[in-house]
Structure 1
Amino acid sequence: MTTAKTALVTGASSGIGEATALKLIALGYTVYGAARRTDRLRKLAERGVRPLAMDVTDDDSMRSGVDLVVAETGRIDVLVNNAGYGSYGALEDVPQEEARRQFDVNVFGAVRLTQLVLPHMRARRSGTVVNVTSMGGKIHTPLGGWYHGTKFALEALSDCLRMEARPFGIDVVVIEPGGIRTEWSGIAADHLEKSSAGGAYSRQAEAVAASMRSEAMVKRMSPPSVIADAVGKAVTARRPRTRYATGFGARPLLALRRLLPDRAFDAMMARSVGLPR
């Protein structure tokens, strides 16, 4: 058991999750970094993060992970639902099996883990659930329908949960990253080409994949530390904001989405990725 606050961070093996786990360690938390492959958590373990094998699509894995954290520390004060990936491809092309997996990882995994953690937070009448969505939970990009669908869904679920959990002293915070320099873009581009290269949407797929891998675009992206800093602010604030939008392009694009009519925003996004028109 420990008197230090305890945090559980999913998707901690790289990128935003890794940076967030290190930020919370620096803030004095006991941090469990969860990932499917614990061999990728060795560097974090050397910095004091406790590695935890967890697959957010496997209920038994999540149950055993939460049970272990509670058994060792007696508490979970912060849950950061960060695990996720981008499955891009034309809506017509992406197989239903892959579409379901995208929702299983990005939505149902986060919600199920939250269900398992909430009773422990309610018992202490305190806690913070941090859901890492994306600016893609408010805007849309070509060939990203399934991915955006998961992020829009997690935004709505977070809003409902915030109202439900507040009487128990639990805060629910949404983090909306913009362009962040991680493995995400390359993985999304790979999924896009696998789904839509060579078919009716191949010209669009080539343009969007090239934009994702563009060296100029990658250079403009923000480091994962900006998201970790936002999480740090949220979990240490007496009254955290409901949303933190940060990282390359997040605030300007969200503002433009509110201001522009749908077709004007469509045209702007198409131009931004060099989409043939």
Structure 2
Amino acid sequence: MPDQVILVTGASSGIGEATALRLSQMGHTVYGAARRVERMRHLADSGIRVLAMDITQDASMQAAIETIIAQEGRLDVLVNNAGYGSYGALEDVPMEEARAQFEVNVFGAVRLIQLALPHMRARRSGTIVNITSMGGKIHTPLGGWYHGTKFALEAISDCLRMELRPFGIDVVVIEPGGIRTEWAGIAADQLRKTSGHGPYGPQAEVMAQSMTGEASLGRQSPPQIIADTIARAVKARHPKTRYAAGFAARPTIFLRWLLSDRAFDGVMRRATGLSKVA
């Protein structure tokens, strides 16, 4: 497998950090991008090229791509990992926060794809890896805006895959299940802030506990599992269109396919503890 030039977003922690390290260990030239550059010093010590990038700022994304092309002459793989989970009852979430969720999880990823594609098309090769979630196939209470972003990125990836086939560019979707990262804590904090004190308060507290309580630790896989999955996709000559990995990802996606809407609602309410809330 030849050395590839790879950009990983959201590389300062969690899945992005683990992925950048794994791909670098495989001998690839890896650029790790994030807003919090100070948290990536250990990545730089491991030979990863660290980039400051804010995926809500177009100039920042353009500068990152231009730097990679100037230094390497190409970009072979883009791993769109940056994102976050903002939970809250649909009635409570301010539209500003809803738009911010889409700006990071969808529009930032798509804009980077737009910037990367001319260079990939010129070489008639490349791989776009979009990190969605099993949450791009299922739904959980109080997560409407988050799931909306992941459903959107799944659909965009499918359309993109067909558009890029004539140019020899692969599009891969990674669907993590429960992963041990900062994601759950951030989502739970936002949930309590948004819906913890109103009519949805009882649901919000139960849901937040299901995300971060002691029992949740047994429902989380290490981020290295997703890093290894991305590595397999990057290594494959003909990668799959989708890889589900991490705690409960495959069985939960299968259940969603198998069950009716209301039956799956019941499963989710019981799994999160909301069945006990009046």
TM-score interval (norm. to shorter): over 0.9
**Residue 186 (structure 1) aligns with:** 185
> 1:120-176, CA deviations, whole angstroms, 9 ceiling, x for partnerless residues?
000111000000000000000000000000000000000000000111010000000
Corresponding residue number in structure 2 for 1:234: 233
Please report the RMSD computed on the Cα atoms of aligned residues, expressed in angstroms: 0.8
1:7-45 superposed Cα distances (whole Å, 9 cap, x missing partner): 000000000000000111011110000001210111111
2:102 aligned with 1:74, yes or no? no
Q: Which amino acid aligns with 2:141?
A: P
Structure 1 residue 216, shift from structure 2 partner: 1.6
Q: Match of 2:139? A: 140
Deviation (angstroms), 1:181: 0.3
Task: Give the residue type in structure 2 aligned to 1:69.
Answer: I
**What SS class does the counterpart of residue 32 from structure 1 fall into?**
strand
Separation (CA, whole Å) in 2 of partners of 1:132 and 1:69: 21
User: SS where residue 130 of structure 1 aligns?
Assistant: strand
How many residues are aligned here? 275
Give the corresponding residue for 1:104.
Answer: 103
Asked if 1:30 corresponds to 2:62, the answer is no
Q: In structure 1, what is the equivalent of residue 260 of structure 2? A: 261
Match of 1:199 in 2: 198
Unaligned runs of 5+ in 2: none
Gaps of 5+ in 1: none
* CA drift at 1:5: 1.6
Q: d(CA) in 1 for partners of 2:160 and 2:22?
A: 25
What is the letter of the counterpart of residue 45 of structure 1?
Answer: A
For residues 34-183 of structure 1, the aligned pairs below 5 Å read: 34-183=33-182
Structure 2 residue matching 1:34: 3-state secondary structure? strand
* Secondary structure class of the residue paired with 1:182: coil
Tell me how far 1:4 sits from its aligned partner: 3.6
SS in 1 for 2:65: helix
1:197–1:206: 8 Å Cα contact kept in structure 2?
A: yes
TM-score, length basis structure 1: 0.98
AA in 2 matched with 1:184? W
Contact 1:5 1:75 in 2 (8 A): no
- Contact 1:87–1:102 (CA<8 Å) still a contact in 2? yes
- 3-state SS of 2:92 partner: coil
Secondary structure of the structure 1 residue equivalent to 2:175 = strand
Kindly provide the amino acid, as one letter, of the partner of residue 146 in structure 2: Y
Task: Name the TM-score, length of structure 2 as normaliser.
Answer: 0.98
Q: Deviations over 1:36-74 (max 9, x none)?
A: 121011111111111100000000000000000110011
CA distance in 2 between partners of 1:228 and 1:210 (Å) = 27
Deviates more, 1:210-219 or 1:62-71: 210-219
Preserved CA contact (<8 Å) 1:136 1:152: yes
Partner AA of 2:136 in structure 1: G
Q: Give the % identical residues.
A: 70
SS of 1:257's partner is helix
One-letter amino acid matched to 2:57: D
